[in-house]
Every structure is written in structure tokens, then in C-alpha cells.
Chain A
């Protein structure tokens, strides 16, 4: 091999060696990025994860907006790690003194086995309240006519979720079980609050972004 060839080889060898070391990493990084970007560009995630969305929009001139998107599975797994005040191991203690006179389970059992219909309808000068069961969902509708905010609240909860919520002890609500039950539900709006100051919406779907 001539001296010129050896020099050329030495010059080429260094960048080639560096490229060989770096290319697999960059190719893998690109492949990962491509896979992730294809994953993120779709609004619906591939494993059909269920996402809980919260959106609050203020009605004032500034129009403050808060959007929170949480995978249900993540909430389900992280919640047991929170131990604060009445929340322990994914279960929240409720004040037994307040529900001593009411057997919540018996009440829910009664609602579950009953036919669809309106159970409570109150039409007053201050409030309108409606509690109904419809297609295995408990629906609570409250209109506050007297307050300055003139709020309108609508809550729709699947009966399965209520069952799961009450599946813990007498004076406990099992939030993790409720989230798990919620995960098996289809896309739905859970809570809607509208008043003169804010619009709040809590809903469930398979998208990893807010609409």
C-alpha cells in the first residue's frame, strides 16, 4: 500500500468509525421518533386507552382556560400512592355520622333494580332538581335559579361506576375501583357545569388531546 493510500485510508477511517458508532443510535432514535410521532399524530391512541378530560373556560373577558387530560389507567395506578387527609390507598373515608341514617348500598341496589324513570323532581323558586335513571346511568340535573351565578349542573354516572365506588367498606368510597369501572365505559360526558362565570366539562374518550 502506498503512503498516499495509507494517508487517505487513515483520513477516511476516522469519520467512518465515528459514523458507524453514531449511526445505529441515530437510526434507532429516528425509528423511535417516527414510531412515537405516528403514535402522537393520531388523536386516538392505539391501545384504546381511556382518557379523562377536564376543561374549564371562564366567561370573563380574559377567557381563562384550563385543560387537563389524564389517562384513566394512570390515575388508577397513581391514586393508591396518594395518602393525604381522608384519601388512603385509593379509598376516601366519608363521615359515617352523615350517612348513618342512610344505607347507601341498599339505596343503590334499589335504583339498580328499578326501571328507568325519574325518581326525584323538585321544581322550586330557587332550584330545579331532577334525579333519574336512564339506560343504566344515574342522571342528576340541578338548576340554581336564585344564586347570582345562575348555575346549571348535569352529572351522568354509569351505575357500574356507582357500584364500584361503594364496593369498599361502609364508610369508604373506592375511587380506584370506580376509575377501573369507568374505563370499560364508552365515550361519554360525565359532568357539565354552566354558570355566569365558568363552563366546566368532564368527559371520557379515547383521545389523548382535548377537543
Chain B
């Protein structure tokens, strides 16, 4: 019985440690709700730390294609995200057009994009460090890097 308890303790501790490590960079949250017949409702919560790890499993040619398409914007995006991390929370952009509402803000080290329309709501919350990691990976895979 004691042996079982010890094994459970080790297993539980390992799981808790793995959980804490996985969620150390926070969570990526994507919510899409379409308010029409047959509309999609997508709600994704994923550990941000998993994204850079997952990119390593993406075939190189796909990464090169993505980097090629985004090449023009990579230096700007990298500089922007790197600087945004240094600043306090801010409402960067807000557009209100009747019932439509777009907001882009930084909050607690995360980039938050909210789009609200009568027929569709989209909310994206992603840690700035994760965006930075992805851009770095794309830069590393861009042609000529």
C-alpha cells in the first residue's frame, strides 16, 4: 500500500510539474461564434508553450512557404511584438461602427483581438511571447536565413 502511495505521489507530482511547465506561458484562446443557421462555434484553449514545440514537427517546406509569404512583414512584426512586450497594457486600436466593434489591445503580456458583429463574434487571446517565438521560427526558415 505504501509502495502504491509512493508511486501515486511520484506520478501525481510529475503530472503536476508537466502541467505547470506546459501552462507556464499561459493559454492561447480562440473563440469563434457564428450566429446563423448552421453557424460554427469553435472554442480552442491550448497551452502557449506547445506552439513552438509543435512548429518543430511542421514539415520544413511548409514553414519555408509560410516564411516566404510573410517575408515582407516579418521584420516589422518581430520589432512590433518585441516592443509591445515592454509596454504596459494598452488599447491599441478600437473601431466602433454601429453594431460592429473591433478592439486590439495588450493585456497582461497577451495580445487580445476582439471582433463583435451581429452575426459573428471572434475573440483571440495569445501571449506576445508565443507570437514572438512563431515569428522567430518563420524568420529562421525564411529563404536566405
Residues of A within 8 A of B (CB): 3, 6-7, 9-11, 13-14, 17-18, 21-22, 25, 32-33, 36-37, 39-40, 45-46, 49, 51, 62-71, 73-74, 77-78, 80-83, 208-210
Contacts and interface: CB of A to CB of B under 8 A. Distances in A.
Interface string B1-39: 110111011001100110110001000000000000000
B2 A10 contact: yes
B97 interface: yes
A68 B92 contact: yes
A39 B89 contact: yes
Contacts, number: 114
Given A6-B5, A36-B108, A209 B90 contact: yes
B57 interface: no
Contact of B91 (A17, A63, A210): A210
Q: Interface range on chain B: under 10, 10 to 19, 20 to 34, or 35 or more?
A: 35 or more
Interface stretch (B46-54, B61-69, B72-80, B119-127): B72-80
B106 to A, nearest CB: 9
A14 B9 CA distance: 5
Nearest to A21: B16
Contact of B94 (A10, A11, A18, A65): A65
Given A17-B16, A81-B78, A49 B98 contact: no
